[in-house]
Structure 1
Amino acid sequence: MPSRREADGERGEAAPADADPASLARAYYDALDAGEYDRLASLLDPDFVQRRPDRTFEGRDRFVAFMRDERPNTDTTHAVERVYPAGPGVAVRGRLLDADGEELFAFVDVFDVDADDGTLAALETYAAE
C-alpha cells in the first residue's frame, strides 16, 4: 500500500554517503514514509540493528522486510519535531501519524552512524502512547 507521502507525490532524495547525521535521519523517514524500501536499504549499514520497546531487528534485510511486508500500518507519516545533531549520531523527537493525521504515538529515535561509510548503523527507538 502506498504511503500518504507517495500518494501525494512527495518524494525526498536519498542522502549521499557523506551526508551529515541529521540529513541521514531525515532521508530515513522520507524513504520509510514514501514506501521506498530500496532507498531505505541504501541508507542502512548491512549490520543495522533497531531496538525498540516491543522487539529488536538485527540486520538491514530483516528490518526492511518487516517495514515493507509485516508492519500493521504502512500508511503513516513521521512528523519530525526536533533533530538533535550533536555527537557521532543524531537524536530525533517526533510523532507517528496515521493516514488521517491522528497521532499513533510519540517517539524519540537515536541513530548511530557508521563513520566509515556514512550509513545508519543502529537505531534505538523510545515510544510513548
Structure 2
Amino acid sequence: LAGPLSRVTPPPRRLSAPLAAMPPPPPSPPPSPARLHLQALERIEEGNVAGATAVLELLVKQAPDYLPGLLELALLRERAGARDAAFPLMRALRTRAGQLPPDTLVDGPEALPARFYLASADAYLNLGALE
C-alpha cells in the first residue's frame, strides 16, 4: 500500500519565537520643537490659551535653546498680563540669540535670522525699561 494517501506529513515547524519573547518596540521620539510650536499656535488660534501655554512650557523645558518657543511663550505671557513671567524668557532669548551669528537662520514655523530674535528681545526689554 504505498500510494499517495499513505504519506505522513511531518508536523509544522515553528518559524519564530513566541511573541512574548519579542522585545518591546522602542519609544517613539518626542515631537520636534517646531512641531510642538505649531501645536501651540493651533491652540492659540482656537482660543485655547491655557493649552497653548502648556505646550509652550513643555517646549521650552524640552528645548531651552529653541528661540521661537522662548519668544512665543514670552509674548503669550505678556498678552495674559504676566509681564513678570515674560521678562526672564526675553532675557534668555536675548542671551541665546546674541550667541549666534546674526544671519544664522533659526528653524521654526518660519526660518528667521538670529538677529530677528535679538532685536525682538531688545525691543521688548527696552520698552519695559522705559515704562
TM-score (norm 2): 0.29
Q: Give 1 or 2 for the bigger CA radius of gyration.
A: 2
The structure with higher relative contact order (CA 8 Å, sep 6+) is: 1
* Larger proportion of helix: 2
